[in-house]
C-alpha cells in the first residue's frame, strides 16, 4: 500500500481519473482496430471465388471443358493456359487457340467452339462458361472422332489465374490425365 501511495502520492484524484480515461481510450482504440482487421478478413473470405475445371468426356455427348465458379464471390479471370504435348497455349490469343486445335489434330472443317478472352473475364458465383467444345457430328455414327477428341482432352493440363474483388490472386489448375 505504501508503494501505491508513493507512486500516486503526488497525483490528485482528477489526475487519476484523467489517467484512467486515457488508458480506457487507448484500449478502446486498439479494440476498434482489431475489430476492423477481423471484419476485413471476414469480408475477404466471404467473397472468395473458387474456380473448378470440369470436363464432359462421355462418348456420344459433346466433349467440352467447363469453368465453374463454386465460390461465394465473383472471379475475375486474368489468364487461361493449356499445356498440351509440352507446348503452352493461351486463351488470350486467337492464334494460340487455333494452334491448340491444330495440335489436337482436329480438322478445321469440324465444328469447334472456344472462348476467347480479349480482356479480363468475370464469372459470378454459381455460374459456368464453356471454354472449349467439339459438338458431335451427326455423321460420326461410330463416335470415332468423338473418342479421339476425348482422348486428346484428357491429356490437357489447364491453369487458370484469377482474382477476387479485393484483388487477391488465386490459381486453379487441373491435370485432366
For residue 57, give the H/E element and its range.
none
pLDDT in tens, 43-63: 888 889 999 998 887 776 788
Residues 30 and 105 in one domain: no
Residues 90 and 133 in one domain: yes
pLDDT in tens, 85-130: 899 998 888 888 888 888 888 776 666 777 778 777 889 999 999 8
Residues 95 and 157 in one domain: yes
Residues 150 and 78 in one domain: yes
Place of cell 461410330: 142
- Which domain covers residue 93, as residue numbers? 51-175
Query: How many structural domains is the chain composed of?
Result: 2
Residues 37 and 10 in one domain: yes
Alpha helices, DSSP H, located in 11-153: 13-46, 94-104, 144-153
Helix (H, G, I), strand (E, B) or coil at 149: helix
Q: What is the dihedral of CA 103, 108, 110, 112, to 10 degrees?
A: 70
pTM recorded for the entire structure: 0.75
Q: How are strands ordered across the β-sheet holding 127-133?
A: 51-56, 64-69, 127-133, 113-114
For residue 42, give the H/E element and its range.
helix 13-46
List the CATH number of the domain containing 105. Answer: 2.60.40
Residues 38 and 70 in one domain: no
Query: Of 46, 65, 80, which residue constitutes the final position of a domain?
Result: 46
> In this predicted structure, what is the pLDDT of residue 9?
67
Residues 75 and 31 in one domain: no
**Residues 82, 117, 162: CA angle, nearest 5 degrees:** 70
Closest CA to 52 of 162, 164, 166: 162
Q: Is the sign of the CA dihedral 17, 23, 27, 28 positive or negative?
A: positive
Residues 25 and 112 in one domain: no
Closest CA to 91 of 111, 113, 74: 113
Residues 68 and 122 in one domain: yes
Residues 167 and 130 in one domain: yes
pLDDT in tens, 137-158: 666 666 667 777 888 888 899 9
Residues 76 and 161 in one domain: yes
Amino acid at each position: 500500500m505504501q508503494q501505491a501511495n508513493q507512486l500516486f502520492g503526488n497525483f490528485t484524484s482528477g489526475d487519476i481519473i484523467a489517467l484512467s480515461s486515457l488508458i480506457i481510450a487507448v484500449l478502446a482504440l486498439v479494440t476498434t482496430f482489431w475489430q476492423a482487421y477481423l471484419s476485413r478478413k471476414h469480408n475477404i473470405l466471404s467473397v472468395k471465388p473458387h474456380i473448378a475445371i470440369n470436363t464432359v468426356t462421355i462418348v456420344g455427348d459433346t466433349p467440352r471443358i467447363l469453368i465453374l465458379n463454386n465460390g461465394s464471390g465473383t472471379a475475375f479471370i486474368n489468364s487461361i493456359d493449356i499445356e498440351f504435348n509440352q507446348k503452352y497455349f493461351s486463351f488470350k490469343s486467337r492464334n494460340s487457340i487455333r494452334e491448340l486445335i491444330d495440335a489436337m489434330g482436329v480438322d478445321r472443317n469440324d465444328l469447334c467452339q472456344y472462348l476467347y478472352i480479349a480482356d479480363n473475364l468475370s464469372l459470378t458465383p454459381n455460374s459456368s462458361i464453356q471454354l472449349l467444345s467439339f459438338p458431335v457430328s451427326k455423321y460420326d455414327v461410330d463416335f470415332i472422332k468423338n473418342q479421339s477428341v476425348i482422348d486428346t482432352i484428357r491429356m490437357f493440363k489447364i491453369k487458370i489465374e484469377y482474382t477476387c474483388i479485393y484483388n487477391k490472386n488465386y490459381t486453379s489448375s487441373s491435370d485432366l490425365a
